[in-house]
Amino acid sequence: MSIPLFEAHGLSFRYPGRPAVALPGLRVAAGDILGLAGPNGTGKSTLLRILAFLYPPAEGELRFDGRSVTSEAQRARLRRQVTLLPQEPRLLSRSVWHNVTYGLRVRGDKQNIDERAAEALDMVGLEPSRFLSRSWRQLSGGEAQRVALAARLVLRPRALILDEPTASLDAASAERIRQAALAARQERGTTLIIASHDLRWLDTVSDHVLHMGDYPE
């Protein structure tokens, strides 16, 4: 059996006064698309942040590519391989080009930067010649969400984690997000973990769906 990209055992996390995540086990193979479903309060967003190495688990073990992740130094290094698109991403008050290339420029990775930005916009269905120079203020809600996704795709992460990526989007924008997720897996082997309340949409993009249970207040 091949080593999974993500593996967790006895994972838990608590906020003051209440548990947020209590997950006995999890395995996500490289190149898989895992969906997370469940009502509000079942820990989906918290689990995504743990898997994106933004939060350390309170208990249990989290492994990435076969190695146990136990320190902040490890999590910081892995944040270059795993990226999160939060439910309400914020754009820079600048052009689409500046937003899409921000992560590359912070990392000092400027080789073929314009071509990579154009490729990322193509993946989310936005014509580069029309959008790269456009101000963030000129974007609709659906376009802004797709620009935020392009800003993650341009980094070419090993794993892309999406928190409610289609919330408040129209059907056309939601379909573009689905196509971009599938293209990232098909063309780059990207592993995706996606939380969504839209179960019909989630079923169309995921290989497997994990239904997270309710936790007591």
Residues sharing a CB contact under 8 Å with residue 121, sequence separation 6 or more, in sequence order: 96, 100, 127, 128, 131, 132, 147, 150
Q: pLDDT digit string (tens) for 74-89?
A: 999 999 999 999 999 9
As a whole number of angstroms, the distance between CA 156 and CA 116 comes to 10
Pairing of strands 159-163, 191-195: parallel
pLDDT (average), residues 115-140: 97
CATH number corresponding to 6-211 = 3.40.50.300
As a whole number of angstroms, the distance between CA 62 and CA 2 comes to 17
| Angle of the 171-188 helix axis to the 113-123 helix axis, nearest 10 | 130
As a whole number of angstroms, the distance between CA 175 and CA 109 comes to 30
Judge whether residue 189 has pLDDT over 80. yes
The number of residues making up the chain comes to 217
* pLDDT tier, 1 (very low <50, low <70, confident <90, very high otherwise): low
Q: If you average pLDDT over every residue of the chain, what do you get? A: 94
As a whole number of angstroms, the distance between CA 30 and CA 149 comes to 20
Where do the structural domains in the chain lie, given as residue ranges? 6-211
Judge whether residue 200 has pLDDT over 70. yes
* pLDDT tier, 214 (very low <50, low <70, confident <90, very high otherwise): very low
Residues sharing a CB contact under 8 Å with residue 217, sequence separation 6 or more, in sequence order: 18
Q: pLDDT digit string (tens) for 157-185?
A: 999 999 999 998 999 999 999 999 999 99
The structure tokens listed for 124 are 């989310």
pTM, full prediction: 0.94
